[in-house]
Amino acid sequence: MGHFQVVQRLLEEGAGADAQGRRYGTALQSGQYGTALQAASCNGHLQVVQRLLEEGAEVNPQGEGYGTALRGASWNGHLQVVQRLLGEGAADNSALQATSKRGHDDIVQLLLKSGAVRRQ
């Protein structure tokens, strides 16, 4: 069973798309991420990101480790996830810093073009 199927099953059984855990996390995310959306975004699981957003996951919550879902996806170079998050209104100036540091030029250009970050 893959990540999407597990997330789908947990959501069907009533798991909250925005549930936040501390040290040990929740069934949908481990403790190093604030929410399941952040975990999926950081790890490039586009199908899971889409499903969580359909379920009403908040797109801009601050969390542990990577901060926001947009910052995590940008840091790790997940272009399609960044595009999806921006389409949902994600915004986080630290995403530009993160992706610049990692050398993901395509995401730098996308963030600047989208207006989701301020030019510094």
Half-sphere exposure of 103 (CA within 13 A, CB side): 0
Total domains in the chain come to: 1
pTM to 2 decimal places: 0.83
- Residue 120 falls inside a structural domain: no
pLDDT digits (tens, 9 = 90+) for 55-82: 888 898 876 666 899 999 999 999 999 9
- Residue 119 falls inside a structural domain: no
User: What is the chain's Cα-based Rg?
Assistant: 14
How high is the pLDDT of residue 2? 63
Q: How many CB atoms lie within 10 A of CB 96?
A: 21
How high is the pLDDT of residue 16? 65
Q: How far apart are CA 37 and CA 67, in angstroms?
A: 11
How high is the pLDDT of residue 105? 95
The CATH code of the domain that includes 8 is 1.25.40.20
Spans of the chain, pLDDT less than 70: 1-2, 13, 15-33, 63-66, 118-120
> With 0-12 CB in 10 A as exposed, 13-18 as middle and 19+ as buried, what is 83?
middle
- Residue 102 falls inside a structural domain: yes
Instruction: Give the residue numbers spanning the domain of 35.
Output: 3-114
**Residues with Cβ within 8 Å of residue 38, at least 6 apart in sequence:** 29, 61, 63, 65, 66, 68, 69, 72
